[in-house]
Amino acid sequence: MPPLPNWRTSVMDCIRNDGRSTNQQQLLNSWPHHESKLQRLERATAEELVHPLIFVIATSPFFSVTVSAEVSSSLQVLIVGVIFLVGLMCGYVARKSMRDLGQPPQSSCPMPRGIYSFKERFAEQLLTGVDKKNLDSWLRVMSVHYHMAGTERGQQLAMRIEQAWKGYGVDNTRTEVFKPLLSFPDKEHPNEVRIMRGNNILFNTSETGPEAAMAVKPFSAYSPSGIVRGKPVYAHYGTEADFALLRSKNIVLNNTIAIIRYGKIHRGYKVKLAEENGVAGVLLYSDPFDSPTDRSNPSRGMKLQGDGVERGNLKSYPGDPGTPYLQPQVNDVYMPPRSDRKSLDLPSIPVQPVSYNDARQLLNNMSGSMAPVEWQGRLNITYNLGPGYSTGDDVQVEVAVHNILQRSNIQNVIGVMMGNFEPGRYIIVGCHHDSWTKGAGDPGTGMAALMELVRLFGSLRKNGWTPGRTLVFASWDAEEFGMVGSNEWVQAHEQELYHRTVAYINLDQAVSGNSSLYALASPLLRQALKEAAELVPCHEGAHTEMSVYDMWRMRKPRVPNNSHAPPLIMPPASGSDFASFLLSLGVASAHLQFVGKDPASDYPAYHTAYDTYEMVVNQTDPGLRSLASLVRVVGVLLLKLVDSLQLPMHAADYAEQIRLDYVVFEKTYGSLLKDHNIDLEPLSKSLIQFEQAALNFHDNYEEMNKNNLLLALQEYNDRLMQLERAFLLPAAYPHHPHYRHVIYGPDVDSGYRSVLFPHLTAAISNARQDNHSPSWNRVRECLSYVVNALRSATNVLSSAVVSWHTAEL
């Protein structure tokens, strides 16, 4: 539904300096013609200031009264008199209530109905109200049992979350149930990996330690069932370049079993590439080379355990594979047969994860040439490429997988604090509650943070705070199966969310180390993140005089070795619940966490049975100091997004990020495209026009409505919401139905890393491989979509339909 103009749900902060930060005041003073508009608003008559109701009604362009000539003058006088008396009573009661509560007035003028603003006293209550004991308690709750999606444990946890939110004061809390297609191992027939000589078993993988105690044994979700045998090959990380190297050495990959390390790219991409190269089955393992080994430094997490096994799903897209574009709770929706894995876009070869203890046995004594130096790991063996074993040509690896697909109930818990002034504008914060194992780090730290945020905002509301915009809390289910719960919820409420959601903030694995804050965020949210982190004191004892922002900038600068540069904030790609919001709906999104020195490898317990409460509190975040700091940062961020009259978003930040990344894009692909007569001049021109529109947008917001500064701010905020939407592909675009964002998204090679112009770079990569004319025409098509998106964004900011200089809302 389109946004409805409404004076009650969109009007503004009292146009005064009272309660406004120094930075805010300086920003306001920099806007052209600001003083004259202030003076005009402050020339309201004494009667209008005394009677807030009359002030609001009389100044609203949506209120007009036409009195028929047939209505008597006495009746007109009576109507005006009633309105006057009601306004007088409202003004008296408002002032008396303020005096009775012993609160000083927040402004030298009474606050008309419909006025709200970010107030630092509420931020201070959030900062001082964080309770580490409560964080610890919820971390225990989230990690006492395993709680996979679609299981009874998962359902019980969702019920406990819902009850807790209601107890914290979020009365509008409910559970939304979906029934997607999930994947589970068969309890009666466990998955197995063996080294075989004929019918003789030479080696059999097995679970030991905590893995043996898990109710659900390690598996790769959405792997098909099947038993395959073949000679082993070592395929490094299983990237396209890795398989190309194997082919260059004339290694026959058909009907082999590829042993592949986790890392570099999504596990689903590894399997897809293996399948394309004729591999019969895949074994996945975590090599200690890719994980930290220094136990003495807590920020480096804990050592990778030899019997730990990383689980994960193999899908390369979010949501329910059975209903990729439809809501699964609708019973009469067509669903492809579960045997039709091509239509479901699921792997067709068996896949099983193993521990590195077992991988050592599987990789040892392999035949073939020695793997390149950069392929060698830390299993204390010589890594050979294969195929086969040096102990005999008849020795093979057998992979037996008995996974099943079944529709299972999942539960999303949704809590809503309705906005008092703009209820039709949503700020959403979410984290998933399902886990492969006990999941203390992932997602336990994120869920503990979310539970504390709900408690804090519930406490604020009990103490008199009311949200300006609507604040939505979401606890997602089945994220581990490929963001299923969040994606299905987005599909179920797509139109409402598209038109009303301002921002989505994601938590997930909130703490994997304690070195620094780390953020993936839409450039639109950069300013809000900066302002929030600046208000939170650093939790490190040696740096208490610094803010979290200062430490973030020092530890993770955008320019390496330059502590004066702003912190590194990368645009999100995929991999967590923000994906559907940002990449499908065009909602500005951010993912926040505290990390160690190397975010890529500082959490080796990821998705293993070693992800426990003890691991988090003893190794990852002793004292939960980083987790408490994250709650403070996210709490202030939410408060700013919910209560700031003018959204703390800057279009110019988006233009700057694109410009910086375009330099790399042009350097990487410019010559190649020129060789194929593909001109980048239209793209360069559209980028310059967008950047100019973005720079002008902030300073000239008043021009959107010269007659009403307050409604100009509403228009300003609405256009910032629309900006991210302008970067979406048409819904019917067939090549990338799941990820529609043409400016930023996951790259085609990894599925994780965010790249500029993802569809265009994917088309270039494909055309470079086959070098046929249709493929290069596809590049031209994708380039046109990018240019069109940038022009659309420019139009959003510059109002191509209605000139600002003549607009009257």
Please tell me whether residue 228 adopts helix, strand or coil conformation.
Answer: strand
Closest CA to 742 of 315, 733, 750: 733
Structure tokens at 65: 């009264």
Structure tokens at 331: 């019973």
Structure tokens at 94: 């408002």
- Roughly what angle, to the nearest 10 degrees, separates helices 526-534 and 548-555? 120
Q: Backbone phi, then psi, for 257, in 5-degree steps?
A: -110, 110
CA distance 182 to 204: 28
CA angle 52, 53, 54 (to 5 degrees): 90
Radius of gyration of the chain (CA): 29
Residue matched to tokens 């502590």? 563
CA distance 271 to 266: 9
* Total residues found in the chain within this entry: 809
CA distance 479 to 180: 12
Residue matched to tokens 């619940």? 577
Structure tokens at 474: 């979401």
CA distance 443 to 138: 12
End-to-end Cα spacing for the chain: 19
H-type alpha helices, 493-547: 494-500, 526-534
Amino acid at 634: V
Structure tokens at 38: 């202030």
387 preceded by a cis bond (ω within 30 of 0): yes
CA distance 169 to 643: 19
**Cα separations in angstroms, 184 against 168, 191, 476, 523, 609:** 35, 11, 19, 38, 17
CA distance 284 to 607: 13
Closest CA to 794 of 655, 616, 638: 655
Tell how many helices (H) and how many strands (E) occur in the chain. 26, 22
Please tell me whether residue 516 adopts helix, strand or coil conformation.
Answer: strand
Amino acid at 668: T
Q: Are 94 and 110 in contact (CB under 8 A)?
A: yes
Q: Backbone phi, then psi, for 615, in 5-degree steps?
A: -65, -45
Task: Give 626-683 as a DSSP string.
Answer: HHHHHHHHHHHHHHHHHH-SS-S--HHHHHHHHHHHHHHHHHHHHHHHHHTT---HHH
Q: Chain-centre distance of CA 445, in angstroms? A: 16
DSSP 468: S
H-type alpha helices, 11-151: 22-30, 34-42, 46-50, 52-59, 73-100, 120-129, 132-143
CA distance 658 to 640: 25
DSSP 349: S
Q: Are 539 and 625 in contact (CB under 8 A)?
A: yes
Greatest alpha-carbon pair distance for the chain in Å reads 109
Amino acid at 256: T
Q: Are 46 and 137 in contact (CB under 8 A)?
A: no
Catalytic site residues? Answer: 479
Structure tokens at 581: 């919001």
Up-side HSE of residue 549: CA atoms within 13 Å toward CB? 18
